[in-house]
């Protein structure tokens, strides 16, 4: 059977995605899409590359996702889907790139510094 593998990352989340020609079933860590990502907004984020390229419902998707929170996982999943679609058809690169689906978001959480309550927050200054 023919399939297309790709990996997507965002913050601390990593998504390994496999696309196979099918009827649009989506499994995330062995569960249905809406069972894993309960918020409708996250489902919309995940489906964006397929809606842009007109491939919604043409592939079965299996994803293994770990690390990070739900939003980071959803955006990692989106990047993985976009990269897998690119392996399927190189001509989709223009549409995917124009919508920013092929760009890996490099932002991560800044580390906490010693002597401070958070990464940049400071304790209240007292002159006397």
Q: pLDDT tens digits for 27-51?
A: 999 999 999 999 999 999 999 999 9
**Angstrom distance (rounded) from CA 94 to CA 61:** 22
Give, in degrees to the nearest 5, the angle at Cα 119 between 113 and 124: 90
Tell me the pTM: 0.90
Mean pLDDT of the chain: 94
Domain limits, the chain: 4-98
Cα-based distances in Å from 50 to 14, 89, 116: 19, 12, 44
Task: Give residue 89's pLDDT band: very low, low, confident or very high (50, 70, 90).
Answer: very high
CATH topology of domain 4-98: Ribosomal Protein S5; domain 2 (3.30.230)
**Angstrom distance (rounded) from CA 123 to CA 91:** 54
Q: Using the predicted structure, report yes or no on whether residue 1 has a pLDDT greater than 80.
A: no
| Residues 6+ positions from 69 with CB-CB distance below 8 Å | 11, 12, 13
């Amino acid at each position: 059977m023919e399939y297309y593998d790709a990996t997507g990352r965002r913050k601390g989340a990593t998504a390994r995605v496999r696309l196979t020609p099918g009827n649009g079933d989506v499994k995330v860590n062995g569960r249905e899409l809406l069972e894993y990502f309960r918020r409708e907004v996250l489902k919309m984020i995940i489906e964006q590359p397929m809606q842009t390229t007109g491939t919604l419902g043409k592939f079965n998707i299996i994803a293994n996702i770990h690390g990070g929170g739900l939003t980071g996982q959803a955006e990692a999943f989106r990047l993985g889907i976009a990269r897998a679609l690119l392996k399927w058809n190189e001509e989709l690169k223009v549409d995917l790139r124009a919508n920013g689906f092929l760009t890996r978001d490099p932002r991560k959480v800044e580390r906490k510094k010693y002597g401070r309550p958070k990464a940049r927050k400071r304790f209240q200054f007292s002159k006397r």
